[in-house]
Amino acid sequence: MNVIFACAGTGGHVNPAIAMAKIILKNKPDTKVLFIGTKDGLENSLVKNAGFDIEHISTGKIIRSFTLKNFKAITNTYKGIGDAKKIIKEFNADLVIGTGGYICGPVMLASRKLKVPYVLHESNAFPGVSVRLLARKAKKVMIGFEDARKRLKNRENIVYTGTPARFDTTSFDKLNKEECKKEFGLDKISKKIVLVTCGSQGAVRVNETIIEMLKNNLVNDYFIVLVTGNKNYDNIKSKIEKIGKENNIDFSNKIRIEKFVYDMDKMYKAVDMCITRAGAMTITELALSAKPAILIPLPTAAENHQLYNAKVLENIGAGKIIEQKDLNANSLDLKIKEMTQENNLYEMSKNARKVVKLDVEEKIYKCILDALKK
């Protein structure tokens, strides 16, 4: 079996594709897998690090207002269809799988022209434009949240599979909280631990709010682990150190700054609650780890889809939303204090597991096999 994945842009599109590729290989090890992406996108490093090959096509993102840039985008998209047709033919693909994003347009149109079946996976609660446009002709449309079903017109080919993640509830529940705390050097912290991680996209506003909280001496009843990302680490660290020196405050009992966390399941286990954006993968992992969260949707996300993702947890009492326009040091501090009360943490943690989809791998693999049937 030869399978092509089309994904580009953000980790939210690329990581589920990589996870699905691994699911296929786990069940059918002789499968050949190829990824199609763009030359400069995040997909290149993620796909190569996962051990897969990637080919590139021309494509363009249509901007939802009149601009001359759209003419170039349309031209590149048509060229991309030709590029994709050539790759699909040469690879002798049996199936093409798209996980959202504008690259899906030319790749799925190319597969349709070549009469190669395609399936889609939509991680978000609010499906993107590409998935909505391509869903009708797809053999299967796999969705990460049940909320997405009502936002797609053709519902006959939709299957609620969930989104494949880096860990599952079984492996997570086996982790020992105290051992995980010790691994991250948090074992001496007696206060509630709050993980703040907002990814590489749009984290600046949240990081600056944490700095303001420290400056105003608000971080007292809890301890913060701030994951900045490699790009922001030095700048954030130097700002916090400067505030500490100027005000003669020791922040070592208030905050830990980390560049990146590789074992996120262990970090989720070590902390008591989270402050995050609301990407689909993040929502999935918060549910799997039963971790209460303050959700700050990225306002620039396409069609405000992160707000819809965040509502999945808020509606079941597992999360609280603070929109970025309402975010400030005082509002965040008050919300943390409210949520870190023991009864609140317990109830929200219990609620988070309500949206966990069981047997995700089995459901996804079955969809793939069904799509291959003539």
| Residue 121 main-chain phi, psi, to 5 deg | -130, 125
Rounded Cα–Cα distance for residues 233 and 235 (Å): 6
Asked if residues 135 and 100 have their Cβ atoms less than 8 Å apart, the reply is: no
pLDDT at residue 61 in the model: 60
pLDDT winner (highest mean) among 90-99, 234-243, 337-346? 90-99
- What confidence tens digit (pLDDT) does each residue in 127-184 have? 988 899 999 999 999 999 999 999 998 778 999 999 998 899 999 999 999 999 999 9
Rounded Cα–Cα distance for residues 243 and 99 (Å): 43
Chain centre distance of CA 192: 25
> What average pLDDT score do residues 225-232 get?
88
> What average pLDDT score do residues 274-286 get?
94
> What average pLDDT score do residues 304-324 get?
95
List Cβ neighbours of 8 (8 Å cut-off, separation of 6 or more): 14, 37, 38, 41, 43, 59, 101, 102, 103
Residue whose pair of structure tokens reads 């363009």 in the numeric block: 60
> What average pLDDT score do residues 353-369 get?
95
- % of the chain with per-residue pLDDT over 90: 76
- What confidence tens digit (pLDDT) does each residue in 252-271 have? 999 999 988 889 999 999 99
- What confidence tens digit (pLDDT) does each residue in 67-92 have? 445 445 566 677 899 999 999 999 99
Asked if residues 355 and 316 have their Cβ atoms less than 8 Å apart, the reply is: yes
pLDDT at residue 74 in the model: 62
Asked if residues 345 and 273 have their Cβ atoms less than 8 Å apart, the reply is: yes
Average pLDDT in the chain: 91
Reported confidence tier of residue 100, pLDDT bands at 50, 70, 90: confident
Collapsing DSSP states into helix, strand and coil, what is residue 274? strand
Residue 75 vs residue 275, higher pLDDT: 275
DSSP labels for 188-240? Answer: T--SEEEEEE--SSS-HHHHHHHHHHHHTT---SEEEEEE--HHHHHHHHHHH
